Structures are given as C-alpha cells and as structure tokens.
Structure 1
Amino acid sequence: MIGILFSILAGIFISLQGVFNTRVSDKIGFLETTTVVHGVGFIFALIITLIYGSGSFSKIGEINKIYLLGGVFGVIIVFSVAKGISILGASFSIAIMLVIQLIIATTIDTFGLFGSPQIKFEYTKLVGLFFMIIGIIIFKLKG
C-alpha cells in the first residue's frame, strides 16, 4: 500500500513540476529554469538529508559510475518536460510520457537490466500499452 501511495505522490508532483517549470521557463528560459530547479532541489534535498538522512556518502566510491548519470537524466527530464508541455499542453505531453515510461520500465523489468529483478513479460502488458496508445489518440482527436 505504501508503494502505491508514493507512486500516486510521484504522479501528482511530476505533473505539477512540469507545469510549474514551464511557467518559470516562460519568464527566464528553458535552460535557466533547469538550472534554477536543480539548484532549489539540491538545497531542499540537502536540508532533508541533514535532518533525516541515515545513509552514508562514504560508500559513493562503491557505486557503479553509470548510475550517477541519474543526475544528468534529471536535467534532461526537467528540460524536456517543460518543452513538451509548452508545445503540446500538460495532459497530452504527460500522457505520452506515461506510455514511454511504461515501455522503458517494461523493457527493464523483462530483461532485468541495471541490476533489476527480471519479471516475466506477459502479453497482457502489451495489450495494456496498446490500449493506452489508442486512448491517447482518442483523447487527442478533435471533436
């Protein structure tokens, strides 16, 4: 249940973040927004870590260096979401993102990529993705 709650929160905040960042970029630019957003995010993460952190930065050398690209991905995500929303609108852009996220996540699960446990691919996942894509097409149709 807690996993569902965190997933719901992530969905809410990803949608809000995309719209908020797009509004900021209207005033200061897309790359500038990406920089500001990550600066503010860093300060917030540092404060939360100082208050609640229970891990240790001392083991950072043990991490596979490719996984540190997550920070780079964050920059690309913030920029791309703001651009996508500014061009397509929030609902259409986020719908496309959700389908792509499911395709990539299913690929990672199916092949057990990046140290993830391998989860058997079921045809129902393909059917679900198909219906999501059809749903986006119907959603976007002009009436």
Structure 2
Amino acid sequence: MKGILFALLGGACITLQGVANNRISYDIGTWQAATITQLTGFILAAIVLAFVRDGSWKDMRQVPALYWFGGAFASVIIFSEVTAIQYIGVTFTIAMLLIAQLCMTFVIDSRGWFGVLRRKITVPQCIGVGLMIAGVLILKL
C-alpha cells in the first residue's frame, strides 16, 4: 500500500512540477526553469537528509560512476517536459511521458539493465500498454 501511495504522490508531483516549470520557463526561460528546479530540489533533499539520516556517505564509492549522473537526466526531463507542454499541453504531455516511461521500463526489465532482476514481458502487459496508447490517441483526437 505504501508503494502505491508514494507512486501516486510522485505522479502528482511530476505533473505539478511540469506546470510550475512551464510557467517559470514562460517568464525567464527553459534552462533557467531547469536550474531553479534542480536547485530547489537539492535544497529540499539536503534538508530532509539532515533529519532522516537513513544512509551512509562512506558507501558512496560502491556506487558505479554511471549512476552518479542520474541528476543530469532530470535536467533533460525538465527541458523536454516544459517544451512539450508548450507545444501539446499538459494532459497530452503527461500521457506521453507515462507511455515513454512504461516502454523504457519494459526494455530495462527485459534486459536486466542497471542491475534490476531480468523479467519476461508478458502479453497482458503489452496489451495494457497498447490500451494506454489507444487511450492517449483517443484523448488527443
């Protein structure tokens, strides 16, 4: 149940972030919006870390170097999302983001990338993604 609640919270925040970034982008620019978002995200994460203290910095050397660039993906996400919202609107942008996320997770799961357990993609899962794509197309039309 916690996983579902956190997923819903994350999904809501992705949408709110996209709308806020779009407004910032409109006022001062897209990369400026990405910079502000990354900075405020860093500040909030640092504050939470100061109180939670649920990990250890000493184990950072065990993290493969590739994974240290996860934050750089966020800059691309922000830029892409804001730009898409300007062209196709919030609803269609978020729908397309979800489809892209699902398709990428299928690739990651099926190949076992990034150390995740390799999983076989089933026909019902493919049908589910197909239905989502059909729903987005209906939404757009």
TM-score by length of 1: 0.95
Let me know the Cα RMSD of the aligned residues.
0.9
| Aligned residues between the structures | 141
Q: Which moved more, 1:67-76 or 1:53-62?
A: 53-62
Shift, 1:6, TM fit: 0.6
Cα deviation per residue 1:6-35 (whole Å; 9 max; x = unaligned)?
101111100111001101111110011111
Matching of residues 53-132 of structure 1 within 5 Å:
53-132=53-132
Match of 1:13 in 2: 13
Q: 2:140, 2:54 → 1: CA distance?
A: 46
Identical-pair percentage: 38
| Structure 1 stretches lacking a partner, 5+ long | none
Cα deviation per residue 1:63-94 (whole Å; 9 max; x = unaligned)?
10001120110111111111111111000011
Q: 2:8, 2:116 → 1: CA distance?
A: 22
Match of 2:26 in 1: 26
| Structure 2 stretches lacking a partner, 5+ long | none
Q: 1:54, 1:140 → 2: CA distance?
A: 43
Cα deviation per residue 1:115-140 (whole Å; 9 max; x = unaligned)?
00112210111111111111111111
Match of 1:137 in 2: 137
